[in-house]
Structure 1
Amino acid sequence: LAQLGIHGGVRVVGHDIGGMVAFAYARRHPEEVEHLVLVELALPGFGLEQAMDVASGGLFHFGLFMTEKLPELLIEGRESDFLTWWFDWLSAVPGTFPPEEVDTIASSYRGYEALRAGFAHYRTLLDDGRVNRAWHETGGTLPMPVLAVGGEHSTGARLADSLNTAAPHLTGAVITGSGHFVPEERPDAFARELLPFLSAPPRAAGRI
């Protein structure tokens, strides 16, 4: 933003791990962020650790992806096959990602080193959780309006519920009929939540 000559007033929208990055940016630079939108994730330090606990019904893939070397060895050479399964598993709308789109995405992850770079972020999540919790436990809150969006068949209202004490100006939304990939599965319903929130004046956008 500094390189582009943009100073403050930005609207940040992040999905899944992009939401973790968006949250970290807003936490560290609150004066820069006018509106923050988090879509379909469990935040480190705010529910992710519970979502990773398979003994309590959490999702298995976090443990796999956080294991050094193993997911790269299992997936290398099968990137398109893995992502086809992955997108189908997490989607509630069949056919959201056609084969040509899956292949395009897979090309970014093809090969051991590209996979390693992708999985490396998962290997920082527990550290991220400790940093986020320490920030909140010492009084940190997000001063900007925050919209927390979940898919009906995925995160639902859990993201918004987890942010109640960290985001005083919080709006929660659940997108009916959607799985994890809200922008792709239900783009019109997502836009109906997103656009009015982003266009509202900063002081009026958040509702408790």
Structure 2
Amino acid sequence: MRSFVTGVLGALAAIWPALAQPQPFPSGFRVQDIQTPAVTIHTRIGGSGPPIVLLHGYGETGDMWALMAADLARDHQVIVPDLRGLGLSSKPPGGFDKKTQAGDLAGVLAALGIGEIDLVAHDIGNMVAFQFAAQHPDRVRRLVLIDAPVPGVGPWEEILKNPLLWHFRFGGPDMERLVAGRERIYLDRFWNEFSADPAKFGEAARAHYAALYALPGAMHSGFEQFAAFDQDAVDNRAWLATGARLRMPLLALGGERSFGATMAEVMRAAAVDVREGIVPTSGHWIMEENPQATIGLVRSFLEGR
């Protein structure tokens, strides 16, 4: 762990100007690096009231949630982790299956003394949130999954045929060598192709996330998130095969120019109370492209409206 911290500090010193967060969290938020049994999870915590956890996906970090965290902190305790291997969380060589990462979240909540939560997730965060809700259904009051499929759930095999998802199978040592020092070029493709309007994913955000993904071990960790999809599908199908379904209210949100109503179609294969929502004029990057609509949809659902 000490070698990881030393490496990160050295890398941060080299890229510090690029890490200035485009949209900072409110001043009342604190940062806590929480040691779980296997990893250290970099976590932002603020506000007071019923706890809510926000989970990010690939191409971003927990920083994506700054605007939503500011809104929710008015009446919630907001917890925003970086997934293992990403952002400023530690970067282990493995453990990127989403069942294991649900255990990371359980460790964060245990350290904070938190039981029941609302849970909001985007992209790969969806997959971690799904496993957490499956393992701990009594701890999730309401669940929001935004604009990404869940391995093994619903039309997963058909979704995999979409050529835009080539990156699901891209990874390994040679690919890491190809993108080393070119992280911005690689990530720009995602930010551009998955946006309704690439200009809405601004330069400050691009520089910020590219710098974080250039940290030692970050691109390896990102590739491993995708490499674990096959195991994630096995785990999720095994759970579904028992006849289990998610029973908490679930909001399936899709970007109008991205997954759209497909999000609800996917989740109806695994949940009994699915509400459908569309983020208008948005592609995949909902908090960059239409944050106010996303916040409004999430808050309305959490309030039972």
Q: Normalising to structure 2: TM-score of the pair? A: 0.61
Where do 1:1-208 residues align within 5 Å? 1-8=109-116, 10-46=117-153, 47-54=155-162, 57=163, 59-64=165-170, 67-110=171-214, 113-200=217-304
Kept in 2: contact 1:150–1:174 (CA 8 A): yes
Deviation readout 1:160-192 (Å, 9 max, x if unpaired): 111213211110112221100112211122122
CA distance in 2 between counterparts of 1:187 and 1:34 reads 23
- Per the TM alignment, residue 23 of structure 1 is displaced from its structure 2 partner at its CA by 0.8
Percent identity between the two aligned chains: 37
Query: What is the identity, as a one-letter code, of the residue corresponding to 2:263?
Result: L
Tell me which stretches of 4 or more aligned residues in structure 1 moved more than 4 Å. none
- By relative contact order (CA 8 Å, sep 6+), the higher-ranking structure is 1
Q: Which has the larger strand fraction?
A: 2
Farther off after superposition, 142-151 or 69-78: 69-78
- Per the TM alignment, residue 197 of structure 1 is displaced from its structure 2 partner at its CA by 0.6
Kept in 2: contact 1:17–1:41 (CA 8 A): yes
CA distance in 1 between counterparts of 2:255 and 2:230 reads 24
CA distance in 2 between counterparts of 1:36 and 1:112 reads 33
Kept in 1: contact 2:255–2:286 (CA 8 A): yes
CA distance in 2 between counterparts of 1:120 and 1:94 reads 26
CA distance in 2 between counterparts of 1:163 and 1:129 reads 14
CA distance in 2 between counterparts of 1:168 and 1:5 reads 29
- Per the TM alignment, residue 122 of structure 1 is displaced from its structure 2 partner at its CA by 0.8
CA distance in 1 between counterparts of 2:205 and 2:268 reads 36
CA distance in 2 between counterparts of 1:190 and 1:142 reads 23
- Per the TM alignment, residue 58 of structure 1 is displaced from its structure 2 partner at its CA by 5.7
Number of residue pairs matched by the alignment: 196
CA distance in 2 between counterparts of 1:175 and 1:144 reads 22
CA distance in 2 between counterparts of 1:36 and 1:133 reads 20
Q: Indicate the RMSD between aligned Cα atoms, in angstroms.
A: 1.7
CA distance in 1 between counterparts of 2:148 and 2:175 reads 21
Kept in 2: contact 1:76–1:111 (CA 8 A): no
Return 5+ residue gaps in structure 1 as ranges: none
- Per the TM alignment, residue 76 of structure 1 is displaced from its structure 2 partner at its CA by 0.9
* 1:24 match: secondary structure: helix
Deviation readout 1:27-47 (Å, 9 max, x if unpaired): 111111000000010110113
CA distance in 1 between counterparts of 2:138 and 2:235 reads 20
